[in-house]
Structure 1
Amino acid sequence: MDYSDVLAAAGRIDGHVLRTPVLEVSAGIFFKLELLQHSGSFKVRGAFNRMLSAGELPPSGVIAASGGNHGLAVAYAARALGVRAEIFVPEVTSPVKVAGLAALGAHITQTGAIYSDAAEAAAKRAAETGALAVHAYDQAEVVAGQGTTGLEIVEQTDGVDTVVVAVGGGGFAAGITLGTSMGGESGPRIVAVEPERIPTLHEALRAGEPVPVEVGGVAADALGATKLGAIPFEILSSARVKSVLVSDEAIAEARRTLWARHRVAAEPAGATAYAALLAGAYTPAPGERVAVVLCGSNTDPATLA
Structure 2
Amino acid sequence: MPHLTHADIKAAAIRIAGHTRPIALAPMDPPGHGVLALEYLQHTGSFKARGAWNFLAAHREEGTLPDTGVTIASGGNAGLACAWAAGRLGVPATVFVPETAPPVKTAALRRLGAEVRSVGREYAEALAACEEFAAATGALASHAYDHPLIAAGAGTLLEEIHDRVPGLATVVVAVGGGGLFAGVAAAARQHGIRVVGVEPERSRALNAALEAGRTVDVPVDSVAADALGARRATPLALAEARQPHTRSVLVPDEAIIGARQLLWSRHRIAVEPAGATALAALWHGAYVPDQGERIAVVLCGANTDPAGLQDA
Partner of 2:148: 140
Partner of 2:105: 97
Partner of 1:196: 201
Q: Does 1:24 pair with 2:32? A: no
Partner of 1:174: 182
Aligned equivalent of 1:72, options 72, 75, 80: 80
Please say if residues 68 and 221 of structure 1, whose CA atoms lie closer than 8 Å, have aligned partners that are also in contact.
Answer: yes
Count of residues in correspondence between the two structures: 302
Q: How does 1:186-225 map to 2 (within 5 A)?
A: 187-225=192-230
Please say if residues 167 and 201 of structure 1, whose CA atoms lie closer than 8 Å, have aligned partners that are also in contact.
Answer: yes
Partner of 1:35: 40
Paired letter, 2:234: G
Q: CA deviation at 1:15?
A: 1.1
Partner of 1:12: 15
Please say if residues 43 and 69 of structure 1, whose CA atoms lie closer than 8 Å, have aligned partners that are also in contact.
Answer: yes
Partner of 1:62: 70
* 5+ residue gaps, structure 2: none
Partner of 1:2: 5
Please say if residues 43 and 49 of structure 2, whose CA atoms lie closer than 8 Å, have aligned partners that are also in contact.
Answer: yes
Partner of 1:244: 249
Q: TM-score, normalised by structure 2?
A: 0.95
Partner of 2:164: 156
Paired letter, 1:218: V
Cα distance in structure 1, aligned partners of 2:160 and 2:206: 24
Q: CA deviation at 1:50?
A: 0.6
Q: CA deviation at 1:72?
A: 0.5
Identity fraction in percent = 51
Cα distance in structure 1, aligned partners of 2:306 and 2:221: 22
Partner of 2:116: 108
CA-to-partner distance for each residue in 1:226-249, whole Å, 9 max, x for gaps? 000122222222111111100111
CA-to-partner distance for each residue in 1:119-147, whole Å, 9 max, x for gaps? 11101111111111111111111110000
Please say if residues 70 and 93 of structure 2, whose CA atoms lie closer than 8 Å, have aligned partners that are also in contact.
Answer: yes
Cα distance in structure 2, aligned partners of 1:155 and 1:234: 25
Q: Does 1:47 pair with 2:55? A: no
Q: CA deviation at 1:181?
A: 2.8
Q: CA deviation at 1:82?
A: 1.0
Q: TM-score, normalised by structure 1?
A: 0.97
Please say if residues 206 and 237 of structure 2, whose CA atoms lie closer than 8 Å, have aligned partners that are also in contact.
Answer: no
CA-to-partner distance for each residue in 1:42-92, whole Å, 9 max, x for gaps? 001000111011123201100000011000000111111111000000011
Cα distance in structure 1, aligned partners of 2:166 and 2:183: 19
CA-to-partner distance for each residue in 1:247-292, whole Å, 9 max, x for gaps? 1110000000000001111100000000000010111111011100
* 5+ residue gaps, structure 1: none
Please say if residues 150 and 178 of structure 1, whose CA atoms lie closer than 8 Å, have aligned partners that are also in contact.
Answer: no
| Coordinate RMSD, CA, aligned | 0.9
Please say if residues 174 and 197 of structure 2, whose CA atoms lie closer than 8 Å, have aligned partners that are also in contact.
Answer: yes
Paired letter, 2:235: A
Q: Does 1:259 pair with 2:272? A: no
Task: Please give the secondary structure, in 1, of the residue aligned with 2:189.
Answer: coil
Cα distance in structure 2, aligned partners of 1:45 and 1:257: 27
Partner of 2:299: 294
Partner of 1:230: 235
